[in-house]
Amino acid sequence: MCGIAGALVFEKALLAKDRNAALEESSLRMVDALIHRGPDDGGLLAAPPIWLGHRRLSILDTSINGHQPMGDANGRFWISYNGEIYNYKELRSELQSLGATFRTATDTEVLLHGYQRWGKELLPKLDGMFAFAIWDRNERSLYLARDGVGIKPLFFAQTPDAFLFASEIKSLLAWGMPARPDRDALQMFLTFGYSIAPSTGFEGIRQLKPGHEITITVDNPKPAIARWYRLPYPDSPTQWSRSESSDRLRSSLDRSVKSQLQSDVPLGAFLSGGLDSSAIVACMQAHQTQPIHTFTCSFSEASFDESKPASAVAKCFGTDHHSPMLAADHLDGLLRVIDHAEDPIADNSLLSVWALCQSTAPHVTVALSGDGADELLAGYSTYRATSLSNFFSRIPRPIRQRILKPLLRSIPATETKYSASMLAERFLIGTDRSWPNNHCSWRTMIDAEVSVRVRGSRSEEWIQRGLDAYAGTLHDAPHWLSPLEQMLHMDLSFHLPNDMLVKVDRMSMAHSLEVRVPFLSNAVIETALAIPPQWKLHRQRGKLALRDAMRHVLPSDILSRKKAGFVIPIESWLRGAWRDLLRRVLNEEFCEETQMLSWPGLRSLLDQHSSGQRNHAYALFTLLVFALWWRRWIQPNPLNIQFPRQTFSRPTFPTRVLRLSILHEGNDGK
């Protein structure tokens, strides 16, 4: 796993006297901004008009042979690549049969030869996670691509002088891109707690959507963006039985895990004690002769703590288990999360994932995770809740508004995980919306009533725009999908890449840790999309096919355990350890400065939550993240909040520069 960055500089900028030295310096700053993603090695190809950079986290062929950017034997094609290709050995054999000669044992060189041989047709052959850039010196063209479901990130920007790209936003800022807020994107953040691709919170900085590619040439500086991937649904609904569904899922997951155990460095697994991570650990241990390392986080708050079920699974499979405690005063961690997330993201499990990765990285360089299973196999309670909200919406509106809603909101606020008051608040968000927006509304962080108070009269317009974007992903879905499958399609296309995968990538790479997601391999996705819906959600119980697949492998209490999630106790922390910070950053001056929030409404939220009158934890955490993000990235920090500086527990190596002369049109590249 690595970081990539680069700049394609347009002709007029290259003509400026002594410009190349300055461009090289800017490119080096871009690459060095990603050193946490690749402390083991760094390289920069300086071959005007291209500056192509790389930071390496060595996983396969850890020798110097894996140095990037990597060029072919003739020096025509150069690649900078972030990711892992799990079927690279099969592709390597195929390419060798076609005459390719390999100098390394890396998957990077397989990508390079594959692009030489097949061009863009290489992409559908890949099974893995990736974002890469390939420079063709003969055609003077740059090609970038991102994996189908969006596991690995890729950002880009265009100035009058250059096209820029990088694995992280801070790399583009290091080039000199101004850190200005994109207010429309920030309104979407205040709706969902994350930006919606291709937007970011920064004006002029975009993210390539999952399954898309970019081609840009020196002669035509306008990026050509195209889609190369769509979810691999069958042509029509399958008629698989319950047993056939579980057998196919178990086989594909086992093959996926086995293929993702390829590594020349130590690897382990995240283990929450839930079904998804336990299934991954079971498959891993079946293919290992030595105990694997497993990791979870524990909380002092009993209802949030998953250490006991995780320890039970670890004991069952004889893993070497680690379970550090996450402290309630984890302010330092919160500030680090804001710094490494870059784009504002208010998924409160960011902090627990940060702590998990921090405790994992000293032991292993690669960890496997259960992410993606909920969106593929109906693991979230929201799928059942949507059915309940449909029933609720059929009750006459006067009864709902005057009796049932006040009754639900009268439930006392508590500080337990998924408290009744919090669930009631979340449930009420979507009950007045029609299909499919009622499902999409589960992901909103500030409900319509509170939003009007805090964001003003246009808030409903912004919420509706966000819900329309979420539901709009159905335009790409097969017509025959059931309502459940439509919900899964929306979450796979929208929530998973914009939130869940962003969270895991940023928090893991902040600690130079590679996280692999076996549930998102080609084989598992294809299998899961074909499983009939009744074997996903059965009698209001999700992931039936996975429970069946693991029935003779996992303990019965793990198979029957409800999904717990990895959230932190924000209700109590916002009333306790974080209360002073909340009041410091969310004030009248901040509302006036941003011109996006109303102080009277915000003040009432703060007062109601701190007194225990109402539970506004999700809304207030979203606003807290917004304020801290603004102070870190947009405006000077008048509150003297000290964002921690990046530190490394392992040696980091400098970026080496390879300088090549400008090639003129018609040069053969040798």
Q: Which ranges constitute the DSSP H helices of 214-300?
A: 242-259, 275-286
Peptide bond into 198 cis (omega under 30): yes
* Least confident window among 7-16, 106-115, 425-434, 561-570: 425-434
- Residue 78, phi then psi, degrees to nearest 5: -130, 140
Q: What does each C-alpha distance from 564 to 308, 355, 388 come to in angstroms?
A: 13, 18, 20
Helix axis angle for 382-393 and 420-430, nearest 10°, is 60
pLDDT classification of 636: cutoffs 50, 70, 90? confident
For residues 217 and 354, state if they share a domain. Answer: no
- Residue 663 scores a pLDDT above 50: no
For residues 246 and 224, state if they share a domain. Answer: no
pTM of the model: 0.93
Helical (H) or strand (E) element with 212: strand 212-217
Helical (H) or strand (E) element with 71: strand 70-71
Q: Is residue 586 part of a domain?
A: no
Q: Is residue 585 part of a domain?
A: no
For residues 195 and 264, state if they share a domain. Answer: no
pLDDT at 668: 35
For residues 313 and 361, state if they share a domain. Answer: yes
pLDDT at 214: 98
Choosing from 542, 559, 576, the residue where a domain stops is: 559
3-state DSSP of 339-404: HHHCCCCCCCCHHHHHHHHHHHCCCCCEEECCCCHHHHHCCCCHHHHHHHHHHHHCCCHHHHHHHH
Highest mean pLDDT among 60-64, 428-432, 644-648: 60-64
Q: Is residue 20 part of a domain?
A: yes
Q: Is residue 418 part of a domain?
A: no
Q: List residues bridging with 213 in a β-sheet.
A: 145, 226
Single-letter amino acid, residue 496 = L
- Residue 295 scores a pLDDT above 70: yes
Q: Helices (H) and strands (E) in the chain — how many of each?
A: 29, 20
Quickly count: other Cβ atoms within 10 Å of residue 95's Cβ.
Answer: 21
For residues 353 and 207, state if they share a domain. Answer: no
* Least confident window among 277-291, 386-400, 485-499: 386-400
For residues 264 and 216, state if they share a domain. Answer: no
β-strands 224-227, 41-47: how paired?
unpaired
Q: Is residue 307 part of a domain?
A: yes
* CA gap 606, 615 in Å, rounded: 10
Q: By C-alpha distance, which of 297, 309, 299, 317 is closest to 273?
A: 309
pLDDT classification of 659: cutoffs 50, 70, 90? confident
Output the domain CATH number for residue 200: 3.60.20.10
For residues 100 and 210, state if they share a domain. Answer: yes
Domain count along the chain: 2
Tell me the residue range of the domain where 506 lies.
242-378+501-559
For residues 77 and 182, state if they share a domain. Answer: yes
3-state DSSP of 495-520: HHHHHHHHHHHHHHHCCCCEEECHHH
For residues 222 and 281, state if they share a domain. Answer: no
Question: Over the stretch 613-627, which tens digit does the pLDDT of each residue have?
Answer: 888 899 999 999 999
Output the domain CATH number for residue 363: 3.40.50.620
Q: Is residue 468 part of a domain?
A: no
For residues 290 and 209, state if they share a domain. Answer: no
β-strands 212-217, 267-270: how paired?
unpaired
- Residue 505 scores a pLDDT above 90: yes
For residues 32 and 102, state if they share a domain. Answer: yes
pLDDT at 670: 28
* CA gap 619, 625 in Å, rounded: 10
Rg of the chain over all Cα atoms, to the nearest angstrom? 25
Of residues 240 and 611, which shows the higher confidence score? 240
Q: Is residue 654 part of a domain?
A: no
The pLDDT of 148-169, averaged and rounded, is 97
Q: Dmax over Cα atoms in the chain, in whole Å?
A: 79
For residue 329, give every residue at least 6 positions away whose Cβ sits within 8 Å of its Cβ, in sequence order, or none: 577
- Residue 423 scores a pLDDT above 70: no
pLDDT-above-70 percentage for the chain: 89
For residues 198 and 257, state if they share a domain. Answer: no
Question: Over the stretch 303-354, which tens digit does the pLDDT of each residue have?
Answer: 566 778 889 999 999 999 998 766 655 778 889 999 999 999 999 889 889 9
Choosing from 538, 559, 580, the residue where a domain stops is: 559
